[in-house]
């Protein structure tokens, strides 16, 4: 892949971040995958800026990035990313209305945040899903009640310094497009909770 193609792919990924549509509205089906399948996806130990990646480094993640996935797990953290320097995916803006919210999804009850897969919703999705709040999700946070998360698979190389502290992998579900919780022995869309 020539450097122009790498830059094109980098631009595509930054355009992916502001997605407002769900796979359902685009006629795309989710791939049901295990939490472990996401956590164990490989990636290169490449530089944080994709424009500096080699063609081989890009090729390693291309088959997976941008795929629609659905998986289950347990929430152990809810962290709005407002304040500070902001994230590159949000142009380093830091106001609550401009930033993502990170949630830590672990495989089993009692697993630590450092073993998690990060899942994120963007401010654009939050506007359409006001129930995606700490208050509404609290019964499923640090509990033995599972959640089912749907969204787009993305590799986030900006957070290497979070590995083994706040996450186990650079792969994320980002943005999340649907959050379901287990209630009365069935999956319930958080948007439909009263």
DSSP class of residue 19 equals -
Q: What's the pLDDT score for residue 17?
A: 46
In terms of Cα–Cα distance, which of 143, 59, 50, 126 is closest to 88? 50
**d(C-alpha 125, C-alpha 148), whole Å:** 17
H or E segment to which residue 76 belongs: strand 68-80
Largest interatomic CA distance in the chain: 53
Q: pLDDT digit string (tens) for 47-58? A: 888 889 999 999
Low-confidence residues of the chain, pLDDT below 70? Answer: 1-26, 82-98
Q: What's the pLDDT score for residue 10?
A: 42
Q: pLDDT digit string (tens) for 129-163? A: 989 999 999 999 999 999 999 999 999 998 889 99
Which residues have a Cβ under 8 Å from the Cβ of 12 and sit 6 or more positions away? Answer: none
**d(C-alpha 160, C-alpha 170), whole Å:** 7
**d(C-alpha 189, C-alpha 181), whole Å:** 7
* Pair of tokens at residue 177: 């497009």
Q: Which domains does the chain have, with CATH numbers?
A: 3-184 (2.40.50.140)
In our burial notation (b when 16+ CB lie closer than 10 A, e otherwise), range 114-123 reads ebbbbbbbbb
Q: What's the pLDDT score for residue 73?
A: 98
In terms of Cα–Cα distance, which of 42, 41, 59, 37 is closest to 50? 59
Measured in degrees and rounded to the nearest 5, phi and psi for residue 20 equal: -115, -20
């Amino acid at each position: 892949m020539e450097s122009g193609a790498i830059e094109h792919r980098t631009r595509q990924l930054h355009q992916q971040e502001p997605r407002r549509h769900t796979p359902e509205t685009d006629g795309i089906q989710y791939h049901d995958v295990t939490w472990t399948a996401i956590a164990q996806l490989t990636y290169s130990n490449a530089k944080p800026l994709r424009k500096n990646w080699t063609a081989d480094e890009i090729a390693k993640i291309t088959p997976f990035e941008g795929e629609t996935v659905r998986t289950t797990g347990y929430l152990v953290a809810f962290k709005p990313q407002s304040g500070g320097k902001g994230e590159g995916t949000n142009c380093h803006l830091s106001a609550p209305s401009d930033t993502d919210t990170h949630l830590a999804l672990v495989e089993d009850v009692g697993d630590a945040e450092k073993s998690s897969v990060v899942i994120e919703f963007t401010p654009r999705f939050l506007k359409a899903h006001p129930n995606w709040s700490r208050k509404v999700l609290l019964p499923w946070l640090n509990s033995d009640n599972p959640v089912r998360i749907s969204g787009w698979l993305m590799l986030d190389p900006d957070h290497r310094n979070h590995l083994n502290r706040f996450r186990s992998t650079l792969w994320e579900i980002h943005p999340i497009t649907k959050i379901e919780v287990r209630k009365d022995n069935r999956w319930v869309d958080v948007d439909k909770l009263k």
